[in-house]
Each structure stands twice: as structure tokens, then as C-alpha cells.
Structure 1
Amino acid sequence: MTKEVELKLFFKAQDYDLLVKILDSLDGLVPKQTKLLKNAYFDTKALQLRHWDMGLRIRSFENNTKEQTIKTAGQVAGGIHSRPEYNARCIGDVPDLSLFPVEIWPKNTQFAKLQEELYCLFETNFKRNIWIAKQGVSQIEVALDQGDIIAGSNHESLCELELELQNGEEASLLSLAADIALKIAVRLGKASKAQRGYRLGGNSALASVADLKPLPVLASSCEKEERTAAIGLALENWQVLDGLLSAAADIATEAELWSRFKSNLSYIDSSLEPLGWQALNTMPCWTLLILELNRQGRLIQQWHSLAYGQAQLALVNLLRD
């Protein structure tokens, strides 16, 4: 078993070539290889694995080898994803569940029935460019993915940059991400490839305002831990609203979401000083972000701004301390 600890960044498809050049030029990054990866994701008709917060796939490599992987329930804290995963070589077109440790399964799992009901729900097929980065005592794999998510006749483009900690300190992920965000517009990624595939195939509900976390009213006597947790919830809301605004279909919906978005950012902004984090809202990226959000416009305009991703990463850095 390994524990996947990563930071996911989204970027605009038209910036792919520029991002490759930037990664090639950054100190401490060594290009390793380019892979073409085909990934088939499996579940049952009743979405039993999804219910258990598990993700199951077979990854096919260019040398005709295959690896099956299952990821069990994890967490996203302060923008950093952490999730246990188990890998095994496989030869068939359907994962062999007996190759995974028995202790990862819920009690009383009916293995034969689960195995029989597995089928492929969707695929994620993409080109992956890999660099290895040295950040102090840490080593990070930098994976740049571009391709498609395919569920039946539905297709969705995939443009992601994943920074995965191979060994060392989580802070190194943020340090490297901040260096990248100085040169190209990025934003924190929330939904995994699997989550997006389930949604594309109609096997999971689309994000909605119901996914927004209620933000507590913080009294002046609140402890630091309570305030920090509240800002963490507001960061999660930021990412949900980010996705909702990008998909808004009409002016009325967009206007309502903008109002929620600005209110959420104001909540964060007003919570910084009691924590002693007021240095953030005087940073150029934060000041510019707040200024731009006070002007009406589509969110995609903000994604073209370096300040957007820089402000998100600066906030994540505070939450990790």
C-alpha cells in the first residue's frame, strides 16, 4: 500500500505548450519521460465502489503491460489530496479483486458477486509528461496530463498538472506550485479524474449549490483551530463555486453565483486578521483578486490572471502551517 499525497492544478488547454516550456526551464526539475496512458474505470451497476468511496481502474501502458489500482477513502485538506492506493499487475480486461489485500474491504463483502458485476463505466486517455523535482529534502513527481475523459458518446477534455510527493515534506508541493503560478495561470483542482468520469457518464450528480458547506458565524472568542477550520470550509466552497460559475447557463444563475462567490471570499478576507494572517490580504495577488471580483464578468476572465491561482495557493499555504 502507498499513500498518494498530491496537489492538483487545472490550467487552460491553450497554455499547454507554454507550460511544458516553463517546466523544462524551472531549476531542479529534470524531464523523465512521456507516456500514453489508457485507463478504464470499473464499478457495478449499483455503483457499489462509489458508495464505499473507492476508485478502481486498469491502466494500460505502451509496452502492453497492465496495472490495476484501487484507491480507498481519502481526504482533501487545505487543497492537498491524500489517499491510500493499492496496485497489482494484471493480465485481463477486468480487475481481479483477489489481488488486493482483503483488509481494505468492508466487513461481509460478497467478493464473488462484486467481481461478477464489475464493468467499465468510462475511460480517461491522455498523454503524460513527467518531471522529477528536488525541493530541499523532498522529491516530487510532476505529471502534466492532456487528453480526454470518455463515457459512452460523451467526451470532456482533460488538462491537469499533478504534483505528487514521493518523499519529504508536504510544504514542498506548495513551494513548487507557487513557483509555477508565478509564470502561468493555474487554479486549484478539486475533482479527480474518476469523479469527473462518473459525472460525465451520468453516474454521479453534477455539483450544485447544495454542495456548499455552511460557514459558521465566528465569535471574537473563537479558538484558532475553529477559525482555521472555517476558512478551510470556505476554500472548499471557493472551488465548488469556481466550477459552478464556469458552467452557468444563464445570466440569472450566474448573477446569483457571483453573489455567493463574493460573499465567500469576503468571509475569508474578514477572517484573516483575527488569525494574524493579514499579510495575505495585502499581497498583490490577493488585492488584485478582490479588485477584479468586484467587477462583473465571467469567471474565465479571472482564470487568465496569475493572481487567481497565486491567491489560492497562498491561502492553502497558511492553512497547512
Structure 2
Amino acid sequence: MGIEREIKLALPSGQVDAALRLIGTRAGAPGRALRLENIYFDTPALTLARAKSALRLRRTPDGWLQTFKTVGVAQNGLHARHEWEMPVAGEALEIETLLHECDESGVATALSDAATNLIALFRTDFTRTLWTLEVDGAQVEAAVDQGEITAEVNGEARSAPICEIELELKRGDDAALHTLAAELAKALPGLAPDDISKAQRGYKLREG
């Protein structure tokens, strides 16, 4: 298990090109673009959401990953949450492996209770452009995400755009995240902290 610490920033769509140039200039190299396709699962009764957790199956260029996260704490765009992530053989969850790794009793119980009734609830599919930056002696992974959240509810197709910057701390102190966020906000009008995760937005989309 790890503790994921990141700042999420809502990016106005008109500022995407400027953000890509700005971060690329700071990194001294173009970003690496990845296509990420994600399916989120829960029970019809939303067992995992009630336990403040989320379960995701992700297709990456290198294969499939399953991820189980707690909602954690979010304030001024800074998210801190437990995360368990591991590769899987294909487009299928391996719940027993997750349960073996999950060492938080409350959310592990919720996952165990949900296991036999899981259904696909919504998708988040996006292109992620990545850089690794050095900020005040810390290492930060900066990502610009562009895509959409989609869900089908009672035969109705629903969607919402994804356009955001994520700054994830890989090594060092949280202060580096705030320093970089402030630097980007100064140069990108309309950039704003976002306390709502993609998973939470997916649930809200289903709720209408």
C-alpha cells in the first residue's frame, strides 16, 4: 500500500496548449503522451462508494492494472489517499489479489462484501501527457489529462469532459506541490484547485 499525494487543478479548455508548452519548457523536454482507458466498478447498491473507496480497471500501453483507492482527504486541491495498484492478466479484476494486499480493514471488508455483485458503472478515458520535474529538491510527476467521463443510465448516454492538471509527489515534501501549483496558476488564467476526483465525478454523472 502507498499513500498517494497529489494536487489536482481544473484546467480551462482554452489553456491546454499553454499548459503543455509551459510544463514542457520547465521540464526541458516534450511530455510523454499515454492513452488511458478506465472502467470503474461498484455494486448496484454502491457498496464501495458508501465505504468511501473506488475500484478501477485501467488499460495502459503496457497492459492492464487494477487499482483500489480510498477517497481520503482533499483540501485546496491536495488529495491524500490510500492506494493499492497492481498488474492483472487482462480485462478482468483479480479481487482475491487485491484483498490479499489491502491492509485497511474497513475498506477491505467493503471490497469483500462487494466482490460477487460488482458491475461496471462508468468510464474515464483520456490522454495523459506526462513529465517528471524537480521542484525544490523534490520530484513531482506533472500530468495534463484530456478526455471524458461516460456512463449509461437506463439507456441514456451521459458524458462530462476531463480537462485537468495533476501534480503527484514522487519524492520529497508536499511544499513542492504547492510551489509548482502556484507557479502554474500565475501563468494559466482560470486554473483552480479541484477537490473532486475523477471517480467522484463519475458517480455524480450517474446520479444526474
User: What is the TM-score normalised by the length of structure 2?
Assistant: 0.89
* Aligned CA distance change for structure 1 residues 111 and 150 (closer, same or farther; 3 Å): closer
Paired AA for residue 106 in structure 1: G
Structure 2 CA distance for partners of 1:108 and 1:77, relative to 1, 3 Å: closer
1:190 is matched with 195
- CA change 1:107–1:146 in 2 (3 A) is closer
Aligned length: 201
The corresponding residue for 2:74 is 76
> Following the alignment from structure 1 to structure 2, what is the Cα–Cα distance between the partners of residues 50 and 107?
10
| Residues 105/24 of structure 1: CA separation in 2 closer, same or farther (3 Å cut) | same
Deviation at 1:157, TM superposition (A): 0.7
Mapped pair 1:54 → 2:53: yes
Please identify runs of 4+ aligned residues in structure 1 that moved more than 3 A: 28-32, 107-113
Preserved contact between residue 168 and residue 177 of structure 2 (Cα < 8 Å): yes
1:98 aligned to which of 78, 87, 96: 96
Deviation per residue, 1:113-133 (Å, 9 max, x gap): 522211110000000000111
Q: Could you tell me how far 1:14 is from its partner in structure 2? A: 1.9
Matches for 1:160-171 after TM superposition, within 5 Å: 160-171=164-175
Question: What is the alpha-carbon distance in structure 2 between the residues aligned to residue 93 and residue 184 of structure 1?
Answer: 38
**Where in structure 2 are there 5+ consecutive unaligned residues?**
none
What is the CA-CA distance between 1:79 and the residue it aligns to? 3.5
Higher strand share: 2
Instruction: Encode CA deviations 1:41-77: one digit per residue, 9 max, x unaligned.
Output: 00001100001101100110124x1000000241124
Shift of 1:110: 7.8
Q: Compare relative contact order (CA 8 Å, sep 6+) and give the higher one, 1 or 2.
A: 2
Distance 1:107 1:161 in 2: 28
| Structure label with greater radius of gyration | 1
Q: Deviations over 1:193-236 (max 9, x none)?
A: 0000001112xxx7xxxxxxxxxxxxxxxxxxxxxxxxxxxxxx
1:106 match: secondary structure: helix
Contact 1:38 1:123 in 2 (8 A): yes
- 1:104: how far off? 2.6
TM-score (ref. length: structure 1) = 0.59
- The answer (yes or no) to whether the contact 2:11–2:192 under 8 Å persists in 1 is yes
- Code of the residue aligned with 2:94 in structure 1: it is D
What is the root-mean-square deviation of aligned Cα atoms in Å? 2.0
* Pairing 1:229-240 to 2, within 5 Å after superposition: none
> CA offsets, 1:8-37, max 9 Å, x none?
1111112211211111122x5654511000
Deviation for aligned residue 1:93: 3.0
**Identical counterparts, % of pairs:** 33
Q: Distance in 2 between matches of 1:107 and 1:187?
A: 30
Q: Which residue of 1 aligns with 2:178?
A: 174
SS at match of 1:41: strand
Q: Is the 8 A contact 2:6 2:168 kept in 1?
A: yes
- SS of the equivalent of 1:14 reads helix
- Is the CA contact (8 Å cut-off) linking 1:128 and 1:144 kept in structure 2? yes
Which letter does structure 2 place at the counterpart of 1:190?
D
Unaligned runs of 5+ in 1: 207-321
Match of 1:136 in 2: 136
Separation (CA, whole Å) in 1 of partners of 2:28 and 2:178: 15
